[in-house]
Structure 1
Amino acid sequence: MSNPYKEIFKAPGAMGFSAAGFVARLPIAMAPIGIVAMLSQTHGEYWLAGAVSATFALTNALVSPQISRWVDRLGQSAVIVPTTIVSVLAFFVLIAAANQDWPVWTLFASAFLAASMPSMPAMIRARWTEIFRNRPELNTAFAFESSADELVYIAGASLSVGLAVALFPEAGMLTGTIFLALGTAAFVLQRATEPRVRGSEGDVVQGSAIRQRPVQIITLALIFVGSIFATAEVSAVAITKELGQPNAASLVIGVYAVGSFAVGLLLGALNPRMALHRQLLIAVIVLAVTSLPLLAAGTVPTLAFAVFLSGIAISPTFITAFGLIERRVPESMLTEGVTWVMTGIGIGMALGAFVSGWVVDTYGAHDGFWVSVAAGAATVVTIALGQRSLAGESAISAPGQLSQPAE
């Protein structure tokens, strides 16, 4: 049996844009935590570090879908180049402001402008779609990208903090900014794989991709999934600290990502033929059920096992969600549609961290996992109620969009 991952990289240019894209998206994980690590050391105030980091993260969540909308209209190179230049320059100003103790407003202003950083995961998936549109290899490519996203969040955050602590406060942010500049440049230079700009192709699609019902359903569902992801991290830190083994938190969180990473690769290799909307429903049901053992974890080993178990459905959920976006969103809106889903994950992580932190402070470390249970149930309800739309059976999803048949 041939290796499906080896097969997808036989496509001309696939290895090049995927490698460049991996480097270019490391700042997605490095920047938010890197800002906190940098400012907490240079200014000694965690509230300030958190506020500046939140300014960057929330602004990027709002701006990146609009950037991707312009990418769909004008092409990747025409939009990625200027927005990345603005982001890189703003990051350098932020680093200088932290190092030179410039006024506080310069920190917020530069973080706000740095948020023009484009959504590289969406750009990469758009290129895979251009190569394998309506072919089974696309599911394998999406599985690879979901696993790569896991590595980005694991490696990026650890690298950013590690450099800031080991070398100097600005080291993590400086490295992330260099990755953004060099990775994006290498990505843009590969013009052969850049998706062509598509018109509405007879559908007379108007407005934003978020008006498409499948995008609304999947984005809402992945807000809940992002909450589960963040809750696992916050609660793991709180519980291991309560158990007197705070250093075990990194191991527990790493196990969470390993479970998701392994199952995601397996799903991509198997490439099941079941309709994607049904695959997604099964994945979120598994996600909800596997969150229940977290409530009973009372030791570090049982916590690690429960967290591993709860992570097995994360990548399958992402893979099938992005596959549905590719099928249900008009080609002229694909990049924006993918970006809205990525934005949903980010919003969910921010909300999950906040809510679970409040629950832990108010009720105790173990009760934080009730946020995961509630979010898991909400995910199942959202996807179950949206099955008809996700199957492409609704008459009209949004003004001007024609229905598409189920797989």
Structure 2
Amino acid sequence: MTTAGGLLVLTPPPGRPSRPGKAPGPYRRLLAAPGARAFTAGNLIARLPMGMFGVSAVIMISGAYGSYALAGAVTATGLAATALVAPWTARLVDRHGQARVAVPATAVAALGSLALLLCVHHHAPAWTLFAAYAATATTPNTGGMSRARWAHMHRGDPAALHAANAFEQAVDELCFMLGPVLAAFLCSALFPEAGTLVGAILLFTGVVLFAAQRSTEPPVAPRTTKGSPLRAPGMPALLAVFGATGAVFGAMEVVTIAYADGPVAGPVLALQAAGSCAAGLVFGRARRTAGLRTCLAAMALLMPMPLLGAGTGSLLAVACGLLVAGMATAPTMVTAMATVQRITPRGQLNEGMTLAVTAILGGIAVGSATGGWTVERWGPAYGYVLPAAAAALALALSVLVPAGPWPEKAAGKTARA
């Protein structure tokens, strides 16, 4: 305690310095940026249906037509169509801006979902289901648009971008955790088409709210002559890894729905996303990151857990296996998506990330169709062989992805030297 100019000043005792306030965590710092909470809220609403549409379609179609194979084939067709259309939608976003492209593209996709709903409700011919679900292919990559905003806001800050990628992956997993639960509840408690109807409404509402946040929207990139990001070194091999990873998700969803066979399917399937969400948040707070092959090795090691649970004949054992297996997926996706951002030219970021999502959707389509076929011929328990095999394939394909610094990164180091 001292006096200064007649004022009493309290000072800490010798040897006991005053402690500053605790620094905010990485996620609090992210959301403290101007406009971040607003676009995150809108994007969260828009992404929640991503975990609803597949489960809703499988429950709705299998209930009306009595065939898991048909349900898996229809969802696979819609995902395959999205895989073809999404890169073009993303290219339009890069050239004309998120707000100008995302809203009309979402309106078309929502109408496709409503058309599917009506076709199933009136028990229309099977080919109409494929046509209606294919119309949802214009759905914009809302997760990619959100990541592009973070990349623009925190360019030049690798630590913040790592936290942002982990946060976005956790949001993805949260949506795939809550989406199936909500879809299963709506389809069983209200009517079979309720999940698809609510999902379409949430998708359109969320995209409109997200697009309205113009202050954080990345500027429109000038037209580039570099061609597709597919030409970036290492990109084709990386997309093959994404495809195999998508097959893990697609097969796991259809097989788990068939294994649980009831309203509990949503909560059981959500446990995989719960494990992934928790692991993603922890991974984002870590000061050190793991390599892509290390993450894929962990996924290949943990993905057989649901198969072991199914071998016991216990749904609880399968649920626990899904929870454990999910812990490897978020770190893998965060690391892989960070690699995509690193090798994609800045002016093509939406397109580059959408190519990654497209590869995942293609893998999900193959996994869904193969899962439905396997379930009908050999039963759900044997279906869990598929995600385990797909995880092992992803690890094997990662050998083709260059492990060292990317060419443009090495060139930058040479120029600075």
* Identical counterparts, % of pairs: 35
1:257 matched to which residue of 2?
Answer: 273
Does the 8 A contact of 1:27 with 1:179 survive in 2? yes
Under a length normalisation based on structure 1, what TM-score does the superposition of the two structures give? Answer: 0.83
1:143 matched to which residue of 2?
Answer: 166
Out of 367, 376, 381, the residue aligned to residue 352 of structure 1 is: 367
Q: Partners in 2 of 1:305 and 1:393 — Cα distance?
A: 42
Out of 1, 7, 10, the residue aligned to residue 32 of structure 2 is: 10
Out of 99, 106, 113, the residue aligned to residue 84 of structure 1 is: 106
Does the 8 A contact of 1:39 with 1:48 survive in 2? yes
Q: Partners in 2 of 1:387 and 1:324 — Cα distance?
A: 11
Provide structure 2 residue ranges, at least 5 long, that are not aligned to the other structure: 1-22
2:226 matched to which residue of 1?
Answer: 205
Q: Partners in 1 of 2:358 and 2:114 — Cα distance?
A: 24
Residue 391 (structure 1) aligned with residue 413 (structure 2): no
Query: Equivalent residue of 2:291, what SS?
Result: helix
2:57 matched to which residue of 1?
Answer: 35
Relative to 1, partners in 2 of residues 1:352 and 1:24: Cα closer, same or farther, differing over 3 Å?
Answer: same
Deviation at 1:394, TM superposition (A): 7.7
Q: Partners in 2 of 1:247 and 1:313 — Cα distance?
A: 26
Code of the aligned partner of 1:142: N
Out of 337, 350, 357, the residue aligned to residue 342 of structure 1 is: 357
Q: Partners in 1 of 2:358 and 2:103 — Cα distance?
A: 21
Deviation at 1:43, TM superposition (A): 6.1
1:73 matched to which residue of 2?
Answer: 95
Relative to 1, partners in 2 of residues 1:271 and 1:42: Cα closer, same or farther, differing over 3 Å?
Answer: same
2:292 matched to which residue of 1?
Answer: 280
Deviation at 1:261, TM superposition (A): 1.3
Deviation at 1:163, TM superposition (A): 1.4
Relative to 1, partners in 2 of residues 1:259 and 1:42: Cα closer, same or farther, differing over 3 Å?
Answer: closer
Relative to 1, partners in 2 of residues 1:328 and 1:347: Cα closer, same or farther, differing over 3 Å?
Answer: same
Superposed CA offset, 1:149-170 (max 9, x none): 1121222233223212222333
Deviation at 1:100, TM superposition (A): 5.5
1:227 matched to which residue of 2?
Answer: 247
Provide structure 1 residue ranges, at least 5 long, that are not aligned to the other structure: 396-401
Report the structure number with the largest CA radius of gyration.
Answer: 2
Moved more, 310-319 or 376-385: 376-385
2:134 matched to which residue of 1?
Answer: 112
Code of the aligned partner of 1:165: S
Deviation at 1:66, TM superposition (A): 1.2
Alignment length (residue pairs)? 388
Relative to 1, partners in 2 of residues 1:16 and 1:30: Cα closer, same or farther, differing over 3 Å?
Answer: same
Code of the aligned partner of 1:143: A
Under a length normalisation based on structure 2, what TM-score does the superposition of the two structures give? Answer: 0.81
1:177 matched to which residue of 2?
Answer: 200
Does the 8 A contact of 1:63 with 1:116 survive in 2? yes
Does the 8 A contact of 1:217 with 1:386 survive in 2? yes
Relative to 1, partners in 2 of residues 1:195 and 1:305: Cα closer, same or farther, differing over 3 Å?
Answer: same
Q: Partners in 2 of 1:372 and 1:101 — Cα distance?
A: 32
Out of 215, 220, 234, the residue aligned to residue 192 of structure 1 is: 215
Relative to 1, partners in 2 of residues 1:29 and 1:305: Cα closer, same or farther, differing over 3 Å?
Answer: closer
Query: Equivalent residue of 1:315, what SS?
Result: helix
Q: Partners in 2 of 1:343 and 1:240 — Cα distance?
A: 29
Relative to 1, partners in 2 of residues 1:139 and 1:115: Cα closer, same or farther, differing over 3 Å?
Answer: same
Q: CA RMSD in A?
A: 3.2
Moved more, 333-342 or 48-57: 48-57
Superposed CA offset, 1:339-379 (max 9, x none): 11112222222322333455556666554444334323322
Superposed CA offset, 1:40-79 (max 9, x none): 5566666665554343222112111110011112211221
Q: Partners in 1 of 2:207 and 2:89 — Cα distance?
A: 15
Query: Equivalent residue of 2:32, what SS?
Result: coil
